[in-house]
Structures are given as structure tokens and as C-alpha cells.
Amino acid sequence: MGTINYKSGDIITLGLNTDFEVDEDVINELMELNDFTREDAEQYERDMYQSDAQDISQAIIDDIVDEIDRLGYFETWVNIKLEYGYYDGFSVVVNKNYTLEKNKPWSLEDEDRKEIYNILEIVRTGLKRLTDNYLDVCYPWWSTRFEEGREANYKAIDDAINGAIEEIEEAV
């Protein structure tokens, strides 16, 4: 596989698995029109697939950030970014920008918790939109077993967001 980064988000990491089936008609057309070898045509199709996936993913991440920014919370609590893979894939990484300490003066206030809950729900919706388009590999199953597909991603997203919410609730 070798296409997505190992877990790098402390909330969740989702990635694109660039293993896809080539379209024989597209390959034949590329070979005929561009005088490509079969290998060059397959690489070209793979590059176009990945480029489209990155463009769509970045647009959705921008939508998520715009929604959070509209609420006035841009990167205050949660950071979302694309990280390019070691070979030819990429990951969408979601990190939290807050520290939870029980019974500490800098613990989250009620208002802060509500803001984070809103942001996490926006992130949940956005990540599911990404899954519907291209992202098909998810952590938290990286180290024990490989899971891919829409349902696995939806479960991972829900588990990750719910886990972040539970962590906040336990710290209060």
C-alpha cells in the first residue's frame, strides 16, 4: 500500500489509497492519442486520479475551515490539513489545539466546550463528505488491521469525534 502517512493526527487521520483499477478504455485512448506506453498511460491516469482527489479534498477542507472561520473559531481549537504521503497518496489530518487538564485553571470553560462541540460536528460532516468522494483508508485501525471503504471510514470518523467529545466531558 504505502500511500498514506502513519497516524499523525491526534483526533483522526484519513487517507487516499491510490490503488485503483485502471480503465482500459482510458488507457487505450491515452496510448493511441499520445503515443504512450502502457506503463506511461497507467501512471498518467493514476496521477490524474490523485490530482482530482487532492483538489476535491482541499476544497472540502477549505469549506470546513470557512465554516469554522464564519463562527470565529478558525484554528482556535481544531486544525485540519492535507499531508502528502511517502509515495503517492495523501492524508487528511485532524489535530486538536487544546490541552485538557482536570481541575486546572486553564481547563475549558463551558463556552469553550460548546464552541469545540460545534466545530467537531462541522469536522464530522466534512470528513464524511470527503469519504463520499475519495478517502477510503482510515486510522484508528492502522496498527492492528487495515480497514477501508465508506462504512469503515464513517465508523472511524464517528468514533474519533465521539472520543474527542468524551475526552472533553471527562476533563470537566
List the grid coordinates of 145.
Answer: 488491521
Cβ atoms within 10 Å of 44's Cβ, excluding its own: 16
Q: What is the dihedral of CA 80, 159, 130, 57, to 10 degrees?
A: 20
Pick the more confident residue, 53 or 123.
Answer: 123
Residue 17 lies in a domain: yes
CA–CA separation, 92 and 33 (whole Å): 35
Is the full-model pTM beyond 0.75? Answer: no
Angle between helices 24-34 and 38-70 (to 10 degrees): 110
Contact 137, 146 (CB under 8 A): yes
CA–CA separation, 106 and 108 (whole Å): 6
For residue 31, the one-letter residue type is M
Domain count, the chain: 1
DSSP 8: -
Pick the more confident residue, 26 or 65.
Answer: 26
Residue 5 lies in a domain: no
For residue 92, give its domain range. 12-171
* Cell 490523485, located at residue: 50
Contact 119, 39 (CB under 8 A): no
Contact 136, 153 (CB under 8 A): yes
Residue 141 lies in a domain: yes
Residue 6 lies in a domain: no
CA 108 to mean position of chain CA atoms: 26
Residue 114 lies in a domain: yes
- Which residues, 6 or more positions from 87, have their beta carbon under 8 angstroms from its beta carbon? 2, 3
DSSP 108: P
Dump pLDDT digits (tens) for 90-114.
778 888 877 766 655 455 677 777 8
Handedness of CA 11, 53, 42, 44 (dihedral sign): negative
Residue 1 lies in a domain: no
37 pLDDT higher than 60: yes
Give the pLDDT band of residue 86 (cuts 50, 70, 90).
Answer: low
